[in-house]
């Protein structure tokens, strides 16, 4: 989904994903990874969103980002950043983080 959203945002700006990557100091190999389903790091995602003048939520989910005060579920920027970071982890890393979060929540 990220790559499809990236392509749409690039098309709206009249630039290809490869040209965008190069303009941001990244290689075309990054675009290939994204096309294969890999997500960029949070920092890279932020740079892409700024370069295309779209939200990170649009790039990840295809929707506009709500401001923290407008978010019905009470999420804030830290929550969104954590979710973005979590999504970029390997399956094994996700299991480790989930176990740690469970342990911490049980300790109260």
Quote the pLDDT of residue 107.
Answer: 76
Q: Say if residue 27's pLDDT is above 50.
A: yes
Provide the residue ranges of all domains of the chain, joining segments of one domain with +.
2-107
Distance CA 27, CA 38 (A): 15
For residue 24 the two structure tokens come to 């941001």
Q: Kindly report the CA angle at 81 between 94 and 36, in degrees rounded to 5?
A: 60
CATH architecture label of 2-107:
Orthogonal Bundle (1.10)
Which one is predicted more confidently, 81 or 51?
51
Hey, how many other C-beta atoms are within 10 angstroms of the C-beta on 92? 8
Predicted TM-score (pTM) above 0.75:
no
Q: Say if residue 92's pLDDT is above 60.
A: yes
Average pLDDT over residues 61-74: 53
């Amino acid at each position: 989904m990220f790559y499809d959203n990236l392509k749409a945002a690039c098309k709206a700006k009249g630039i290809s994903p490869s040209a965008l990557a190069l303009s941001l100091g990244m290689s075309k190999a990054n675009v290939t990874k994204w096309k294969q389903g890999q997500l960029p790091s949070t920092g890279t995602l932020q740079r892409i969103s700024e370069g295309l003048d779209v939200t990170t939520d649009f790039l990840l989910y295809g929707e506009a980002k709500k401001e923290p005060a407008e978010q019905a579920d009470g999420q804030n920027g830290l929550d969104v950043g954590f979710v973005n970071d979590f999504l970029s982890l390997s399956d094994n890393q996700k299991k480790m983080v989930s176990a740690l979060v469970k342990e911490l929540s049980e300790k109260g």
